[in-house]
Amino acid sequence: MSLQKLLCYHLIWTLVAFLAAENANVYYRYRMSRCIYSSSNISDMVYYDNYYFNKYLFIQFDSTLGRFVGFNEYGMKLAESWNSGLLVQEERGVVDWFCKGNAQVFDSAICEKSVSWLRDGKLMTSEMTSTMEMADGDWYYQIHSELEYTPKSGEKISCMVEHASFNKPMIYDWDPSLSESDRNKISIGSSGLVLGIIIAAAGLIYYKKKSTGRILVPH
């Protein structure tokens, strides 16, 4: 599963359930729910509802099991109680009404509208050759999109990037002029080529002069 899908298909919300302070000690209890899937038809959707106390997971609802599971003595007693009540029935329905419903919205609104190309403000589709997702290794990702076309005079080419964190699409106009670093690289390369030609020419002239002053003696 690509990192882009991993980010788009994880619907995470955190509910702070309990926060109390006593003297210098602070106790923190919170809940984190996750919807995870990788297939395009969301058939492998999995839902986890985790309850933590001071970063320690003590009970979890797992949709693949269809019940709560405890991870310590208190969590196991709590799981036994919750699995026999209405709460477990409500949790079993979350996959359909929340996870799958939101995944479809995320797919159409975010994942499928990440990078596109514009020619004079109009969307281009046929000239796009590839769009590749690349993971940065730190839960972030890059999308590499290539456009192959024949430039025309006065034509404006732009790359439009859409993301859930943007208030509006970001549009970057393509500048056909070379950057300063590229110009420096070309200058250094050209200078090296000219220097190489001069050295080669000087060596050839020297070799010819030495050759003309030699007398070949037959054996």
Q: What is the pLDDT along the chain (219 residues), one digit of tens a residue?
A: 443 444 344 444 334 334 443 444 567 888 998 888 877 678 888 999 999 998 899 999 999 999 999 999 999 999 999 999 999 999 999 988 888 888 877 766 555 557 888 888 888 877 666 666 677 777 677 777 788 877 777 888 888 887 767 788 888 888 766 566 766 777 787 778 888 888 877 777 777 777 665 555 555
**Angle (nearest 5°) at CA 95 between 35 and 162:** 45
Q: Which residues contact 10 (CB under 8 A, 6 or more apart)?
A: 34, 35, 36
Nearest-Å Rg of the Cα atoms of the chain is: 32
Asked, for residue 34, whether it belongs to a domain, the answer is: yes
Q: What is the pTM of this model?
A: 0.45
Asked, for residue 219, whether it belongs to a domain, the answer is: no
Please tell me the predicted confidence (pLDDT) of residue 83: 95
- Together in a domain, 102 and 64: yes
Given its phi and psi angles, is residue 73 left (phi above 0), alpha (psi -120 to 50 degrees) or beta?
A: alpha
- Together in a domain, 15 and 61: yes
How many CB atoms neighbour CB 99 within 10 A? Answer: 22
- Determine the structural domain holding residue 206 and report its residue range: 178-214
- Together in a domain, 15 and 86: yes
Tokens of 204: 């050839």
> Number of structural domains, the chain?
3
Please tell me the predicted confidence (pLDDT) of residue 114: 72
- Together in a domain, 120 and 60: no
Asked, for residue 95, whether it belongs to a domain, the answer is: yes
- Together in a domain, 85 and 133: no
How many CB atoms neighbour CB 163 within 10 A? Answer: 12
Asked, for residue 141, whether it belongs to a domain, the answer is: yes
| Residue 86 CA from chain centroid, whole number | 39
- Together in a domain, 48 and 89: yes
Please tell me the predicted confidence (pLDDT) of residue 1: 42
Please tell me the predicted confidence (pLDDT) of residue 15: 40
**Distance separating alpha carbons of residues 49 and 133, to the nearest angstrom:** 29
Asked, for residue 36, whether it belongs to a domain, the answer is: yes
- Together in a domain, 193 and 169: no
Please tell me the predicted confidence (pLDDT) of residue 3: 37
Please tell me the predicted confidence (pLDDT) of residue 112: 53
- Together in a domain, 146 and 200: no
